[in-house]
């Protein structure tokens, strides 16, 4: 992963799909020597799914995580190595300031081998790893993109943070028959926040230390060649705890997370808890519900929530959650295509169209009047999702169009009238006035609520 990389990071991450996830019984008892990790935070602070299982269960304090299991959590959940010498904290992004949009964190745990304290396959989100020994170094083995690296945290309390995030690159259109190089871009950033670490990959060892010093590396699954450490004078704000916990945004998001786990414990079923949270009058509750539906592959609930509530923020969050879902690993968009055809009864052409709209246009697309004409035409599409996605792109590219108050889930005659106004705003053969960038996650929300009256 570090230094002179002779092989491209093109292999897929080892992610199992969370299909049909429900809260099941607690992970079966296993012997301490067979554990991959142990839950250190309190009861009901994360979800765990054993390898090969379709069921998630709420974690219990002291629970042993088996080999190959996945753990899904938001903020401040904590697991430790079987020997207790390394802790792994699920950080989340309640402050909304991380370099990547972190919606959930998922890590797969592996039983550490000899000389290894903790072995993990990060899959998405943010984790902090800490040497919790009383003295000496701790070693973590990390699997990424088919490669492995050993990371030595040289002294007690040494800490680093790792963020991981995937999206399809702008201009990479959907295809039912991708080549092996056509995969989402999975980006990783690693920052040492305290102490010094050594990263060994193949024959190369790279040293990083907390600021001021060579504290950061950033790469992705398309990286080839030498990855150079970046010198930081001080830690970036997102990698510290220096933001105020009394911030209204942080307080609201934390309260929603607590409510979700309370509902999960009460109802004993992920879909039921999420549907209850989605019915809340609180926007932050609804947002968490939508992204948790995506995180647990509960596409039916995500779809029904969007089609039932129909507010601009729910539609917006649902689109972003789906873009996040198809970008988290190769093959996700093909699974969504199958879902559309087999469960939502889309035609193959309608499914192609929907998946293509979930990808981002290229700069050359944005320079062609035909691209905008195509989006405007889709405002009257037969199926709901092409209309939603066409509007989602248009209102970000041409923000003044939000004043038209188009409702992609409204009545046909209302949609037709609003689409005509869009056609007047962007005349055929012309580029739109004051078009803005549609770069990933600039995702400002529409100014007009499209809730059906």
DSSP annotation string for 288-309: HHHHHHHHTT-HHHHHHHHHHH
Q: Residue 125 in contact with residue 90, Cβ under 8 Å?
A: yes
C-alpha to C-alpha distance for 428 and 372, rounded to whole angstroms: 9
C-alpha to C-alpha distance for 388 and 409, rounded to whole angstroms: 7
* pLDDT given at position 225: 52
pLDDT, tens digit only, all 453 positions of the chain:
434 333 322 233 223 223 233 333 344 455 556 799 999 998 888 999 999 887 788 899 999 999 999 999 977 799 999 999 999 999 888 888 888 888 899 999 999 999 999 999 999 999 999 999 999 999 999 999 888 999 999 999 999 999 999 999 999 999 998 887 789 999 999 999 999 999 998 888 999 999 999 999 999 988 755 678 999 999 999 998 777 667 888 889 889 988 998 998 898 888 899 999 999 999 999 999 999 999 999 999 999 999 888 888 999 999 999 999 999 999 999 999 999 999 999 999 999 999 999 999 999 999 999 999 999 999 999 999 999 999 999 999 999 999 998 999 989 999 999 999 999 999 999 998 765 555 444 444 443 343 433
Query: Strand, coil or helix: what is 11?
Result: coil
* pLDDT given at position 229: 94
Q: Is the dihedral of CA 328, 253, 265, 64 positive or negative?
A: positive
C-alpha to C-alpha distance for 390 and 380, rounded to whole angstroms: 10
Q: Residue 369 in contact with residue 414, Cβ under 8 Å?
A: no
C-alpha to C-alpha distance for 349 and 231, rounded to whole angstroms: 49
For the chain, the 3-state helix, strand and coil shares in percent, each to the nearest 5, are: 30, 25, 45
111 token code pair: 């039983």
Give, as one character, the DSSP assignment of residue 115.
Answer: T
* pLDDT given at position 15: 30
Residue 333 phi/psi, 5-degree rounding, is -70, -30
Residue 352 phi/psi, 5-degree rounding, is -55, -45
Q: Is the dihedral of CA 199, 205, 210, 215 positive or negative?
A: negative
Query: Strand, coil or helix: what is 225?
Result: strand
* pLDDT given at position 289: 95
* pLDDT given at position 32: 54
Q: Is the dihedral of CA 394, 332, 275, 249 positive or negative?
A: negative
- Burial grade of 151 (CB within 10 A; 0-12, 13-18, 19 or more): buried
C-alpha to C-alpha distance for 120 and 149, rounded to whole angstroms: 11
Query: Strand, coil or helix: what is 369?
Result: helix
* pLDDT given at position 247: 84
C-alpha to C-alpha distance for 298 and 279, rounded to whole angstroms: 16
C-alpha to C-alpha distance for 297 and 96, rounded to whole angstroms: 23
What is the b/e burial string over 386-408, where b = at least 16 CB atoms within 10 angstroms of the residue's CB? bbbbbbbbbbbbbeebbebbbbb
Residue 277 phi/psi, 5-degree rounding, is -65, -40
Note the Cα 107 to chain centre separation in Å. 12
* pLDDT given at position 1: 42
**Could you give all domains of the chain from N- to C-terminal order, each with its CATH number?**
3-239 (2.60.120.1440), 248-425 (no CATH)
Q: Which stretches does DSSP call E strand in 61-220?
A: 64-66, 70-73, 77-80, 86-90, 105-110, 118-131, 138-144, 147-153, 159-167, 185-194, 196-201, 204-209, 213-220
* pLDDT given at position 437: 54
């Amino acid at each position: 992963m570090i230094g002179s990389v002779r092989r491209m990071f093109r292999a897929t991450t080892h992610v199992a799909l969370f299909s049909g996830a429900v809260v099941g019984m607690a992970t079966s008892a296993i012997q301490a020597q067979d554990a991959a990790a142990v839950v250190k935070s309190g009861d009901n602070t994360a979800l765990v799914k054993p390898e090969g299982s379709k069921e998630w269960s709420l974690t219990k304090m002291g629970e042993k995580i088996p080999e190959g299991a996945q753990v899904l959590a938001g903020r401040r959940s904590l697991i430790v190595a079987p020997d207790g010498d390394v802790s792994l904290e699920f950080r989340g992004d309640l402050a909304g300031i991380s370099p990547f949009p972190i919606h959930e964190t998922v890590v797969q745990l592996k039983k550490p081998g000899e000389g290894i304290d903790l072995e993990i396959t990060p899959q998405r989100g943010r984790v902090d790893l800490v040497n919790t020994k009383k003295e000496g170094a701790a070693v973590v083995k990390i699997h990424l993109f088919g490669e492995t690296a050993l990371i030595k945290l040289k002294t007690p309390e040494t800490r680093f943070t790792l963020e991981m995030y995937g999206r399809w690159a702008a201009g990479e259109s959907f295809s039912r028959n991708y080549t092996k190089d056509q995969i989402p871009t999975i980006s990783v950033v690693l920052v040492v926040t305290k102490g010094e670490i050594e990263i060994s990959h193949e024959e190369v060892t790279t040293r990083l230390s907390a600021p001021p010093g060579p504290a950061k590396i950033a790469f992705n699954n398309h990286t080839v060649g030498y990855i150079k450490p970046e010198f930081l004078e001080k830690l970036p704000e997102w990698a510290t705890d220096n933001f105020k916990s009394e911030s209204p945004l942080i307080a609201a998001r934390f309260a929603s997370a607590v409510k979700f786990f309370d509902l999960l414990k009460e109802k004993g079923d992920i879909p039921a808890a999420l549907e209850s949270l989605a019915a809340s009058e609180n926007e932050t509750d609804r947002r968490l519900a939508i992204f948790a539906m995506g995180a647990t592959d509960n596409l039916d609930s995500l779809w029904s929530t969007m089609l039932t509530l129909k507010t601009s923020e729910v539609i917006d969050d649902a689109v972003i959650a789906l873009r996040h879902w198809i970008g988290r690993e190769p093959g996700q968009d093909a699974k969504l295509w199958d879902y559309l055809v087999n469960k939502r009864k889309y035609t193959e052409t309608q499914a192609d169209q929907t998946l293509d709209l979930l990808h981002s246009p290229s700069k050359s697309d944005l320079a062609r009047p035909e691209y905008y004409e195509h989006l405007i035409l889709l405002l009257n599409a037969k199926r709901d999702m092409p209309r939603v996605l066409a509007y989602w792109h248009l209102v970000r590219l041409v923000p003044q169009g939000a004043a038209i108050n188009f409702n992609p889930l409204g009545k046909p005659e209302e949609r037709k009238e609003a689409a005509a106004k869009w056609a007047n705003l962007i005349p055929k053969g012309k580029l739109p006035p004051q078009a803005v960038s549609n770069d990933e996650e600039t995702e400002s929300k529409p100014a007009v609520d499209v809730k059906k009256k």
